[in-house]
Amino acid sequence: MRRRVLLGVFAHPDDESFGPGGALAHYAHQGVDVHVIIATDGIAGSVDDQGRLRDHDSLAQVRSAELAQAAVHLGVKSIWSLPYRDSGMRGAPDNHHAGALIQQSADRVAHEILGYIARLAPTVILTHDPFGGYGHPDHIRVCEATTIAFYLARAGMSGGNGAIERPQKLYYSAFPKDLIRIAAPLMRVAGQDPTAIGRNHDINLVEISRWVTPVTTNVDVTDALIYKQRASEAHASQFSGGPSWLSIVPAPVRQRLMGREQFTCVFPDVDRNSEHDLFAGVA
């Protein structure tokens, strides 16, 4: 019997924890081989406490060390890094750095990911949605490249790495926008600007609320919330306790939201809200 293998492909150190960390930990603790690819060094991230840099030469080193600790909490079997620089948010000067991920073609990055698919033989692949979650250009490029790599692998191409076991399913992270549509006007009442949230005020909830990411798959990750929390806290240079806008949402709704993670099954086609397992239907 073929072993179940889950491969998550993400843009930055911390995306694996702040994003679908519950699902990664849930499956890892069920005995699934969970592997993670991180495409950038995260150097464009911000850090409030400069003391965190004391024992490191750069923020990239800090974030690499944090990623290693987070992976232990999640139960990830291996972490792989692509050699690209964090591009920063849209319009940031980091966008123009020659080594930035968004300066690389999606095809080039896809062929690198394809090599890992050939090596790791994942059954299921998981990545960012086409809008990059909150519009981050690196997330969008990773989604593009991972999608290309998945379909190349499905076609039997291996990037020169010999025979390949074709991955069976591709997922994007998803998030229902109804909650954001509720939170945005409540934030205005509370004196907060929903168009400028986050540590750097560069995330626009109103814009995000218009992006459609259909939910096909709801995974109960209640059993893994403690691991996700510990992994998130391991990213101490970036961790702020969670999105501030969530504090506007009533506690029972917030708790229910945290206990499940949602995804769009890109391949094969499945109906909305019809799955509760990323490995549903896997041979």
Residue 94 maps to which CATH number? 3.40.50.10320
Least confident of 90-99, 107-116, 125-134, 172-181: 172-181
pLDDT of 59 higher than 60: yes
Least confident of 91-105, 123-137, 239-253: 239-253
**Cβ atoms 109, 145 nearer than 8 A:** yes
The backbone torsions φ and ψ at residue 18, rounded to the nearest 5 degrees and listed phi first, read -65, -30
Q: pLDDT at position 26, please?
A: 98
Residue 189 located in a structural domain: no
- Reported confidence tier of residue 240, pLDDT bands at 50, 70, 90: confident
**Cβ atoms 104, 262 nearer than 8 A:** no
Q: Which letter does DSSP use for residue 163 in this model?
A: S
Residue 88 located in a structural domain: yes
What are the residues whose beta carbons fall under 8 Å from the beta carbon of 75, sequence distance 6 or more? 24, 25, 28, 29, 34, 227
Q: Which domain holds residue 93?
A: 5-176+213-241+261-267
What are the residues whose beta carbons fall under 8 Å from the beta carbon of 247, sequence distance 6 or more? none
Q: pLDDT at position 248, please?
A: 56
3-state helix, strand and coil shares in percent for the chain, rounded to the nearest 5? 40, 15, 40
pLDDT-above-90 percentage for the chain: 64
What are the residues whose beta carbons fall under 8 Å from the beta carbon of 87, sequence distance 6 or more? 40, 44, 94, 95, 97, 100, 101, 102, 103, 137, 138, 141
- Reported confidence tier of residue 38, pLDDT bands at 50, 70, 90: very high
Residue 157 located in a structural domain: yes
For the residues 259-275, what does the mean pLDDT come to?
95
pLDDT, tens digit, for every residue of 82-95? 999 999 998 999 99
Give how many domains the chain has, as a whole number. 1
Residue 46 located in a structural domain: yes
